[in-house]
Structure 1
Amino acid sequence: MEILSATKLFFFLLLFSCHVSFLSSSATAAYSIGVNYGTIADNLPPPKEVANFLKTKTNIDRIKIFDANPDILKAFTGTGISVTVTVGNGDIPSIAKLPGAQAWIEKNILPYHPKTIIRYIAVGNEILATSDKTLIAHLLPAMKALRSALDLAKARSIKVSTPHSLGILSTSEPPSSGKFRKGYDKLIFAPILEFHKQTKSPFMVNPYPYFGYKPQTADYALFKPNGGVLDAGTGINYTNMFDAQLDAVYSAMKRVGYEDVDIVVAETGWASAGDPGQPGVSVENALSYNGNLVKHVDSGKGTPLMPNRTFETYIFALFNENLKESIPERNFGLFKPDLTPVYDVGILRHDQGVGPTSAVRAKIGRQ
């Protein structure tokens, strides 16, 4: 009886510890949410100041940058904030063979990792959208070469991927009809997805309901209450465009046999200012989209075709960037260059007295 009791006690304690661990991780939610840290501006604070701000004043624990900026990589040393580093599109051909990939890793990764936690290497950005045949042809070889270089350098924790725009789909409405572009499905995407499956790395996509905005579907795009859009193929009624876009990607992946590969949302966001008369662009709409996005992703509800999945999601962007070409492009930031919030989507640590925008933030709950 004493042995049985001890065994029961052991399993009780094991279950209790797992339960506590689950509650602890739930209590620190908001952490499937990261930010894209772009730097096309001449008025941004130094990277060290940015790193300290994110660590001490926000709940953000991951960032994505669009290069391998050494100043940023140094600044995030010891912060516990993970970084996704990007290979420039033009560098892809030079790293498509192992020696080039090893040289790139030697220069851009090994001096910083693991003191700076590098989570992913993003090989280029939206390469298929460039229609550059050379880049497209070298994309997967570059991903494979980087994977081999990381393994040889014993940096196996770093995953390799590449972000795609939703232009990779020939059909996305309704979501169940989602398909990759003809000719790209088996020749390009099946091999890329096979790479992700073999290396346990995610398929990265950049869904932007912002670009699909129409006044008649505004609430649907902004996560506001609406009647929804029916997918006749499945009988599912979609109540937000973000889920519909992700499920269209999932349907395309399923068609080529890779629905089990994880999806990471590498970019999504909403401009808070635009050109005169531009519909749908305002602080209120940016707050509604990004604020409700944070809630939705952190809920763990997933999407209708991918229930109970939490998608690692990177909001675009951390800062308003004043050297971008157009007014909307300059106004995707959650923060101004002086680190004050344009609006607060719920990532600020208000217990530390940060975030003078509580009145604006409160609107999220009233959308």
Structure 2
Amino acid sequence: MKAGQVKLYDANPEALNLLSETKLQVSIMVPNREVSSIASNQSKSDEWVNQNVLPYYPKTSICFLLVGNEVLSDNSAQGQKIWLHLVPAMRRIKRSLQTQNITDIKVGTPLAMDVLETTFPPSSGTFPSRIRDAVMVPMLEFLQQTNSYFFIDAYTYFPWSSNPNSISLDFALLRGNFSITDPVSGLSYSNLLDQMLDSLIFAMSKLGFPGIRLVISETGWPHSGNIGEEASGANIFNAAMYNRNLIKKITAKPPLGTPARPGVFIPTFIFALYDENLKSGTGIERHWGLLHPDGTPVYEIDLPGKRATSDFASLPPPKNNQ
């Protein structure tokens, strides 16, 4: 498949050892359950880096160290306690790396699109007051000071599937056959992903941080639901169409960027490499993979973006797009 980067949702020793034999850039993650203890204790942070980074780096090319996963999406009482611990934990992890003279691993945290209060039109993008001053401003200060990235999980599938009568499927699949203009900024959008990313860029700009770069830490499209479960739009045709169009967009040279930030390359992780057949939840939660659990491809994909669309074998027509 010729991937250039891989993202782990932990710091699995076996995986990190195997990845040392590759040229892949690797992203590792501090679990949510450890964020609070690291935030309150520099020794805990040092211990985490000593155990999960030093044995593997630089032989394993760790490029991103992510603190937690979608922490701000957990609205439970316990989850909200962690909100205020997130940025202090990021600072401590960065300090632990600096103590070891490791300067080229970027520290960040992946957030979901629900971190924004408004996203449409993109120029209206804002962070909600409950996290704006207490969490987002110090986080953006940290990212700017350390020249790191804002990691965003951006799925066009979810806004489309919840409102298919108002959002065109082609717009969500990045097919680029028509455009929508933001009435305030005057910027023109040919796909939903650019709208989503620019709403974040506008939200950061309103807080005084217009230049922080983005990484799409998750995106993709489900290719199936459970047997007998009609998950609207979750089919092989749409999944292949989305991911192929995504690859074409992010590998374009020169970089395309977004309407609000043209010409800027956006590192992107497709979710997921494998289907998660043992995962709980609805059927679509288990069917985002490029590969089946046995390693066979769900559909043809070319991650470097060298193959023309016409080179791929034909796909079964979608039957559940309504």
Offset of residue 358 of structure 1: 3.1
8 Å CA contact 1:270, 1:286 repeated in 2: yes
User: Which 4+ stretches in 1 moved above 3 angstroms?
Assistant: 348-351
Q: Distance in 1 between matches of 2:58 and 2:86?
A: 26
Larger proportion of helix: 1
Residues 314-339 of structure 1: CA deviation (Å, up to 9, x unaligned): 00000011111221111100011232
Q: 1:283 Cα deviation (Å)?
A: 0.3
Q: Provide the rounded CA distance (Å) in 2 between the counterparts of 1:153 and 1:117.
A: 16
Say if 2:247 and 2:305, in contact at 8 Å, map to a contact too: no
1:334-349 counterparts in 2 under 5 A?
334-347=290-303
Note the residue ranges of structure 2 that are not aligned, 5 or more in a row. 318-322
Q: State the partner residue of 1:62.
A: 5
Instruction: Show the counterpart of 1:235.
Output: 186
Following TM superposition, by how much is the alpha carbon of 1:64 offset from its aligned partner in structure 2, in angstroms? 0.4
Equivalent in 47, 51, 71 of residue 103 of structure 1 = 47
**Secondary structure at the residue paired with 2:98?**
helix
- CA distance 1:184–1:349, change in 2 (3 Å): closer
1:215 aligns with 2:145: no
Aligned residue pairs, count: 301
Question: In structure 1, how many angstroms separate the alpha carbons of the residues matched to 2:118 and 2:266?
Answer: 22
Which residue in 2 is equivalent to 1:31?
none
Tell me the distance in 1 between the aligned counterparts of 2:300 and 2:98.
40
**For residue 118 of structure 2, what is the aligned residue in structure 1?**
171
2:94 alignment counterpart = 147
User: What letter corresponds to residue 72 of structure 2 in structure 1?
Assistant: L
CA distance in 2, matches of 1:330, 1:337: 10
TM-score, normalised to structure 1's length? Answer: 0.78
Task: For residues 240-263 of structure 1, give each alpha carbon's deviation from its aligned partner in whole angstroms, at most 9, with x where no partner exists.
Answer: 000000000000000001111111
Q: Give the TM-score taking structure 2 as reference length.
A: 0.89
Distance 1:322 1:177 in 2: 38
Structure 1 residue 297 corresponds to structure 2 residue 241: no
* Alpha-carbon distance between aligned partners in 2 of 1:287 and 1:225, rounded to the nearest angstrom: 15
Query: Equivalent residue for 2:71?
Result: 127
Q: Is contact 2:224–2:236 with CA below 8 Å preserved after alignment?
A: yes
Pick the structure with greater CA Rg: 1
| Alignment deviations for residues 251-296 of structure 1 (CA, whole Å, 9 cap, x no partner) | 0000001111111100001000024322111100001111100101
The aligned counterpart of 1:74 is 17
Q: CA deviation at 1:186?
A: 2.3
Q: Partner of 1:279: helix, strand, or coil?
A: coil
Aligned residue for 1:328, secondary structure, equals: helix
Match of 2:320 in 1: none
Deviation at 1:349, TM superposition (A): 10
Q: Distance in 2 between matches of 1:236 and 1:260?
A: 18
Question: Which letter maps to 2:313?
Answer: A
**In structure 2, how many angstroms separate the alpha carbons of the residues matched to 1:59 and 1:245?**
28
Q: Which residue does the alignment assign to 2:312? A: 358
Unaligned runs of 5+ in 1: 1-57, 352-356
Structure 1 CA distance for aligned equivalents of residues 247 and 72 of structure 2: 28
Q: Using the alignment, how far apart are the partners of 1:128 and 1:348 within structure 2?
A: 32
Deviation string 1:127-181 (CA, Å, 9 cap, x unpaired) is: 1111322211111110000000001012221111000001111110000110011
C-alpha contact (below 8 Å) 2:251/2:304 kept by paired residues: no
Q: Among the aligned pairs, what percent are the same residue?
A: 37
CA RMSD after TM alignment: 2.0
- Residues of 1 paired with 2:15 and 2:293: CA distance? 16
Paired AA for residue 279 in structure 1: S
Report which structure shows greater RCO (CA 8 Å, sep ≥6). Answer: 1
